[in-house]
Amino acid sequence: MSEGQGIGASVARKEDKRFITGLGRYTDDMKVPGMMHAAFVRSPHAHAKVNGVDKSAALEMDGVIDVLIGPELKADGIGDLICGWAVSSKDGSPMNMGAWSPLATDTVRHVGNPVAIVVAETRDIALDAAERVMVDYDPLPAVTDAVDALSDGAPQLHPEAANNLIFDWEIGEEQATDDALAGAAHVVEVDIRNNRLSPNPMEPRAALGHYNKAEDHYTVWTTSQNPHVARLVMSAFYNVAPENKLRVIAPDVGGGFGAKIYIYPEEIVCLWASKRTGVPVKWVATRTEAFMTDAHGRDHTSTAKIGFDADHKIVGLKVETVANLGAYMSLFSSATPTYLYATLLSGQYNIPNIHANVKTVYTNTVPVDAYRGAGRPEATYLVERTMTQAARQLGVDPAELRRKNFIREFPHQTPVIMNYDTGDFEASLDAATEAIDYKNFESRRQESRNRGKLRGIGMSCYIEACGIAPSAAVGSLGAGVGLWESAEVRVNAAGTIEVLTGSHSHGQGHETTFAQLVHERLGLPLDQVNIVHGDTDVVQMGMGTYGSRSGAVGMSAIVKALDKVEAKAKKIAAHLLEADEGDIEIENGELKVAGTDKTLPWFQMALGAYTAHNLPDGLEPGLKETAFYDPTNFTFPAGCYICEVEIDPETGKTEILRFVAADDFGNIINPMIVEGQVHGGLTQGIGQALLEGVHYDADSGQLITASYMDYCMPRADNVPMFEVSHQTTPCPGNPLGIKGCGEAGAIGSPPAVINAITDAIGTEAVTMPATPMKVWQAIRGAAMAQAAE
Amino acid sequence: MSEVTLVVNGRKVKRVVEDRTLLVHFLRDELDLTGTHVGCDTAQCGTCVVQMDGKAVKSCSILAAQADGSEVVTIEAADSGYDDLHPMQKAFKEYHGLQCGFCTPGMIMAGIDMVRRYGPGNLDEATVRQNLEGNICRCTGYHNIVKAILAASDEMAKSDTQLNEAAE
Q: Do B60 and B48 contact (CB within 8 A), yes or no? A: yes
pLDDT score recorded for residue A616: 96
Q: State the burial class of residue A527 (Cβ atoms within 10 Å of its Cβ: 0-12, 13-18, 19+).
A: exposed
pLDDT score recorded for residue A2: 42
What is the DSSP track for A432-468? HHHHHTGGGHHHHHHHHHHTT-EEEEEEEEEE--BS-
Strands (E), A390-542: 412-413, 419-420, 454-463, 485-491, 497-501, 529-532
Report the C-alpha gap between B119 and B125 in whole angstroms. 15
CATH class of B87-162: mainly alpha
pLDDT score recorded for residue A206: 98
Q: How far is CA A335 from the centre of its chain?
A: 12
Which of A18, A23, A53 minimizes the C-alpha distance to A137?
A53
Report the C-alpha gap between A91 and A638 in whole angstroms. 34
Q: State the burial class of residue A59 (Cβ atoms within 10 Å of its Cβ: 0-12, 13-18, 19+).
A: middle
Q: State the burial class of residue A667 (Cβ atoms within 10 Å of its Cβ: 0-12, 13-18, 19+).
A: middle
Same fold flag, A16-22+484-629 and A297-468+633-788: yes
- The DSSP 8-state label assigned to residue B27 in this structure reads I
Bond from prior residue into A769 cis (ω within 30 degrees of 0): yes
A672 touches B: beta carbon within 8 Å: yes
Q: Does the pLDDT at position A89 exceed 60?
A: yes
* CA–CA min distance B41, chain A (Å): 6
By C-alpha distance, the chain B residue nearest A505 is: B100
CATH class of B2-77: alpha beta
pLDDT band at B168 (very low <50, low <70, confident <90, very high): low
Q: How far is CA A734 from the centre of its chain?
A: 21
Residues of chain A in contact with residue B103, where contact means CB-CB under 8 angstroms, are 202, 254
Q: Do A386 and A346 contact (CB within 8 A), yes or no? A: no
Residue of A14, A19, A712 to mutate when probing chain B, most B C-beta within 10 A = A19
Q: Do A245 and A219 contact (CB within 8 A), yes or no? A: no
Report the C-alpha gap between A665 and A740 in whole angstroms. 6
CA distances from B16 to A62, B21, B64, B71 (A): 18, 10, 10, 17
What is the third-level CATH fold of A16-22+484-629? Aldehyde Oxidoreductase; domain 4 (3.30.365)
Report the C-alpha gap between A707 and B44 in whole angstroms. 9
pLDDT band at A1 (very low <50, low <70, confident <90, very high): very low
User: Is A719 in contact with B143 (Cβ distance < 8 A)?
Assistant: yes
Residue of B18, B36, B40 to mutate when probing chain A, most A C-beta within 10 A = B40
Which of B96, B101, B142 minimises the CB distance to A716? Answer: B142
Which of A694, A658, A750 minimizes the C-alpha distance to A288?
A694
Q: Does the pLDDT at position A710 exceed 70?
A: yes
Residue B30 makes CB contacts below 8 A (sequence gap 6+) with B13, B15, B17
Q: Do B115 and B89 contact (CB within 8 A), yes or no? A: no
User: Is A20 in contact with B92 (Cβ distance < 8 A)?
Assistant: yes
What ipTM was estimated for this complex?
0.97
Which of B28, B45, B140 minimises the CB distance to A679? Answer: B140
Report the C-alpha gap between A129 and A185 in whole angstroms. 68
By C-alpha distance, the chain B residue nearest A252 is: B100
A559 C-beta neighbours (distance < 10 Å), count: 17
Report the C-alpha gap between B24 and B50 in whole angstroms. 9
Report the C-alpha gap between A377 and A383 in whole angstroms. 10
- Lowest-pLDDT choice from A82-91, A484-493, A777-786, B14-23: A777-786
pLDDT score recorded for residue A789: 80
How many percent of chain A have pLDDT more than 70?
Answer: 100
Which of B104, B125, B130 minimises the CB distance to A20? Answer: B104
Q: Do A464 and A376 contact (CB within 8 A), yes or no? A: yes
Q: Does the pLDDT at position B164 exceed 80?
A: no
**Residue B69, helix vs strand vs coil:** coil
What is the DSSP track for A671-739? HHHHHHHHHHHHHHHHHHHHT----B-TTT--BS--STTTS----GGGS--EEEEE-----TTSTT-B-
Report the C-alpha gap between A207 and A285 in whole angstroms. 9
Q: Which CATH architecture has domain A297-468+633-788?
A: 2-Layer Sandwich (3.30)
Every domain of chain A and the residues it spans: 16-22+484-629, 31-140+202-255+260-293, 297-468+633-788
pLDDT in tens, A621-675: 999 999 999 999 999 999 999 999 999 999 999 999 999 999 999 999 999 999 9
Residue A786 makes CB contacts below 8 A (sequence gap 6+) with none
Interface of A with B in 714-733 (CB under 8 A): 714-717, 719, 721-722
Confirm or reject CATH 3.10.20.30 for domain A31-140+202-255+260-293, answering yes or no.
no
pLDDT score recorded for residue B160: 74
Every domain of chain B and the residues it spans: 2-77, 87-162
CA distances from A768 to A299, A342, A682, A754 (A): 11, 21, 15, 8
User: Is B76 in contact with A682 (Cβ distance < 8 A)?
Assistant: no
User: Is B139 in contact with A715 (Cβ distance < 8 A)?
Assistant: no
A707 touches B: beta carbon within 8 Å: yes
pTM over 0.90: yes
pLDDT score recorded for residue A478: 93
Residues of chain B in contact with residue A708, where contact means CB-CB under 8 angstroms, are 40, 42, 44-45, 136
User: Is A21 in contact with B47 (Cβ distance < 8 A)?
Assistant: no
Report the C-alpha gap between A371 and A296 in whole angstroms. 7
Interface A:B, Cβ pairs < 8 A: 183
pLDDT in tens, A475-490: 999 999 999 999 999 9
Mean pLDDT of chain B: 96
Amino acid letter, residue A750: P
HSE-up of residue A669 (Cα within 13 Å, Cβ side): 29
CA distances from B76 to A189, B31, B50, B110 (A): 57, 12, 10, 14
CA distances from A516 to A2, A123, A612 (A): 10, 42, 29
Which of A680, A394, A738 minimizes the C-alpha distance to A558?
A738
A601 C-beta neighbours (distance < 10 Å), count: 14
* CA–CA min distance A681, chain B (Å): 7
What are the b/e assignments for A120-137, b being 16+ CB within 10 Å? beebbbbbbbbebbebeb
How many percent of chain B have pLDDT more than 90?
Answer: 93
Report the C-alpha gap between A268 and A80 in whole angstroms. 10
* CA–CA min distance B139, chain A (Å): 5
What are the b/e assignments for A442-452, b being 16+ CB within 10 Å? eebbeebeeee
User: Is B143 in contact with A257 (Cβ distance < 8 A)?
Assistant: no
Q: Do A340 and A375 contact (CB within 8 A), yes or no? A: yes
Mean pLDDT of chain A: 97
Strand partners, A557: none
Q: State the burial class of residue A214 (Cβ atoms within 10 Å of its Cβ: 0-12, 13-18, 19+).
A: exposed
Report the C-alpha gap between A164 and A150 in whole angstroms. 6
- The DSSP 8-state label assigned to residue A261 in this structure reads T
Report the C-alpha gap between A197 and A377 in whole angstroms. 12
Q: Does the pLDDT at position A123 exceed 60?
A: yes
For residues B30-47, average pLDDT = 97
For residues B24-45, average pLDDT = 97
For residues A244-248, average pLDDT = 98
Q: State the burial class of residue B162 (Cβ atoms within 10 Å of its Cβ: 0-12, 13-18, 19+).
A: exposed
Amino acid letter, residue A706: A
pLDDT score recorded for residue A785: 86
How many percent of chain B have pLDDT more than 70?
Answer: 96
CA distances from A607 to A21, A197, A315 (A): 35, 54, 65
Report the C-alpha gap between A495 and A529 in whole angstroms. 10
A21 touches B: beta carbon within 8 Å: yes
A8 touches B: beta carbon within 8 Å: no
pLDDT score recorded for residue B166: 67
What is the DSSP track for B80-133? TTSSSS-HHHHHHHHTT--SS-SSHHHHHHHHHHHHHHH-TT---HHHHHHHTT
